[in-house]
Amino acid sequence: MSVIPSNTAKAWDASNSAALSCANALEEGNMRKSILDWRHYPTIARIANMAAHDVGRGSETLMTYSRGDLFRAARHLVSGREGRSGRSGLPARALVVTGFFIPQADRPAAETDGPLGALEVCMALRAIGGDAWLVSDECCEPVIRPAALGFLPEDHVLIAPNVSDSPESDTRNANNAPHVSDSGESDTCTPGGTPFDAWLNRVIDLVRAEGISTLIYIERVGPARDGSPHNMRGIDITEWTAPLSQLTLMSLHTIGVGDGGNEIGMGRVEDYAIEGVVDHGANIACTVPTDQLVVAGTSNWGAHALVCAMRAFGRTEVDPYMEIGWQRMVLDAIVAHGGLDGVHMTNVATVDGLDSDRYFAEIATLASVARR
């Protein structure tokens, strides 16, 4: 039987004691920070209520199913990531998914609601020391890629192929979709896999390589109960929509932003609530939930509310992207590349049929509350 020398045992005890003290101090610090964070809750709750201002799709009713989510989502974005060194409290590194195609327009293209808000969130995350990759699909690419490249590096704009052999929530496709293995590496694309499967594998590898922790959907349509995505008019748009809800298979922290019941994230809301306040609600309600859901009058307002909530947490670095001038510049860029007002289905610099003054007044008011 071996005996540990007394001096070695003492050193061992001292080392363990120091490690335990450090762990306790870290836990106490995190608890103190969590408690202090809640002092921002009243301001952020006010932002959430204002952003949900109803423009005719029942957003004020739907947001009652996600009270507190804006606060939790923003807190996650500003300090919810743990680095590879074990350091906690870091800003998120996120995939930000957007793009809603309007196939019935005279000149079909992506709508203006979504891309503007997604770019605002991307820029805000990069400003506070996190990072963001904008994700969309082939049908929306002609609008979104050139507009985004005015602000993001080329390798931070990811475009999925609109190629799938089944609707978005088809059980066979979901079961065979690429997953992250126990080692953290993606499964290889099996023979006969679709181009979308191969693309998804590459995204999984990117997530692992870049330490991406968060998945944010902003005005991104998702599958309804019939397994297909539908627009606000009740039309099945599977043909023009890549199955980007499959990104949730990576088990990242998820945040959804929507305004009409058919967006990814709305699976958090009871079906009967969407059916009761949204036209075609029974047919279009998305079944995919997210960890947090932000419901707003327009999804751009919801994304702006996320950034305003980050500002309420004291992150002044996001200020430039909350300005009306910056917002108008991005909207003009989206429209210059063919973006459509989703309600009027025309290539004009408006969002969801709202008068421009009314739309930007809401943007300004939310920013004003966040800065108080």
In a domain, 349, yes or no: yes
Phi, psi (5° rounding) for residue 131? -155, 165
Q: Give the full edge-to-edge strand order of the sheet including 157-160.
A: 157-160, 131-137, 93-97, 214-218, 253-258, 292-295
**Between β-strands 101-102 and 109-110, what pairing exists: parallel, antiparallel or unpaired?**
antiparallel
pLDDT at 156: 99
Residue 257's DSSP bridge partners are 218, 294
**What is the identity of the amino acid at 4?**
I
Residue 157's DSSP bridge partners are 134
**Between β-strands 93-97 and 131-137, what pairing exists: parallel, antiparallel or unpaired?**
parallel
Domain boundaries, position 132: 39-371
In a domain, 21, yes or no: no
- The residues of the chain scoring below 50 in pLDDT are 2, 4, 8-9, 11-12, 19-20, 22-23, 25-27, 29, 165-190
CB 51 within 8 A of CB 301: yes
CB 259 within 8 A of CB 218: no
CB 160 within 8 A of CB 135: yes
Q: Distance between CA atoms of 367 and 221, rounded to whole angstroms?
A: 27
| Tally of domains within the chain | 1
Sign of the Cα torsion 99, 103, 106, 107 reads positive
pLDDT at 272: 94
DSSP secondary structure letters along 169-237: T-HHHHHHS--B-TTSPBPPPPTT--HHHHHHHHHHHHHHHHT--EEEEES-B-B-TTSSBB-TTS-B-
In a domain, 111, yes or no: yes
Residue 13 CB-half CA count within 13 A? 7
Look up the CATH number of the domain holding residue 218: 3.90.1640.20
In a domain, 221, yes or no: yes
In a domain, 81, yes or no: yes
pLDDT at 86: 72
pLDDT at 359: 98
Cα first-last separation, the chain: 69
pLDDT at 258: 98
Put simply, whether the predicted model's pTM sits higher than 0.95 gets the answer: no
CA 204 vs CA 91, 207, 246, 255, 358: distances in Å: 20, 5, 11, 18, 40
In a domain, 28, yes or no: no
In a domain, 14, yes or no: no
In a domain, 209, yes or no: yes
